[in-house]
A and B are shown apart, each in its own frame.
Chain A
Amino acid sequence: MHEIRIAEDLSAIVLETAKREKLSKVTKVNISFGVLVQIVPDIFIFAFSETVRNTIAQDAEVNIEIVSVKMICKKCGNDFGVEENRFVCANCRSTDLEIIHGKELFIKSIEGE
């Protein structure tokens, strides 16, 4: 259900940006979500369309890129993709890791005219 709140925050940013850039219409919103954020794209797109109803962004197409999990090992410096929630260094087996991708909740760009 966090899709709704995140969609609300996104629509606020989209509308503010559109106003600042003096757009009359927002046509596309490009965003990226990390796998770990566990957002269901269909629910998110529905929630977003509700929050921008009757605004200049109501017809905007929402493009969602899903980013898979990538980590870096703090011990040996190895960076690797994570599958099936195994957060263990594939090289040295260390669990002292940092997430570098997979937690994204980013707006990449907003298109309009």
Chain B
Amino acid sequence: MKNILDRNQNKAGEVRNLLVAKKVLMVNLISSPGAGKTTLLERTCEELNKKFRIGIIEGDITTDRDAQRLKKYNIPIVVINTEGGCHLDSHSISKVLDSFDLDDLDVLFVENVGNLICPSQFDLGETFKLAIVSTTEGDDKPGKYPMLFREAKAVLLNKIDLIPYTNFKRETFNSDLKNINGQVPLFEISCTRGNGLKEWIKWISKQILSTSSTEV
């Protein structure tokens, strides 16, 4: 039996091998539109910019607005416009990797197109996927989109400062997530207020360090 997405899978394998050889951690950020991927990247760059060499691939349907917001950190950023496409794929990633000096990078964040279903089906060659979900979207997201929450190496719950203004129930979210992926670390954060960011930064720093120190 042949996998329909073989072509994507094969290219993703090439990307992964290259990144392993260059000791670059690639993180595929997946969330709905407006969950806070770009704001998370802003906070993350502020904290990590001095310690690590960061690169960003911005998947954007038509604009470069997210990339504009990240320009201030003076890090290499490449935009991929999907022209309406709802996800990135390994071929588009492979093409833009040439724009980076991989010998001069520790971590490459890929901001996927805002969508919870499609991006989780397409392997980009990333080291791991990260699921970001915000409290204003409701507490039912893990149950509705099990594939993403199952595959993610960590889950970030953003906008926890807004919980009092929503009907978001922590118990529902946590128990659904536990049923789907009982082992995944969960970070409760607020990118605008700063809650929980310290733990997230500590965790991601550890991931970057373990990639850059692996024997190839």
Which residues of A line the B interface, CB within 8 A? 1-2, 5-6, 9-10, 12-13, 31-32, 36-38, 85-88, 95-96, 99, 103, 105-108
Contacts and interface: CB of A to CB of B under 8 A. Distances in A.
Given A31-B4, A106-B1, A5 B182 contact: no
Contacts, number: 74
B188 interface: no
Interface stretch (B63-71, B81-89, B158-166): B81-89
B87 A99 contact: no
Interface of B: 1-8, 85-87, 89, 115, 117-118, 121-122, 142-143, 145-147, 150, 176, 178-183
A37 B117 CA distance: 8
Given A9-B4, A37-B121, A85-B176, A95 B183 contact: yes
A38 B86 CA distance: 15
Contacts of B87: 2, 5
B182 A95 contact: yes
A107 B147 contact: no
Given A1-B86, A99-B150, A6 B183 contact: no
Nearest to A89: B182
Nearest to B147: A36
Contacts of A6: 4-5, 121
A96 B150 CA distance: 11
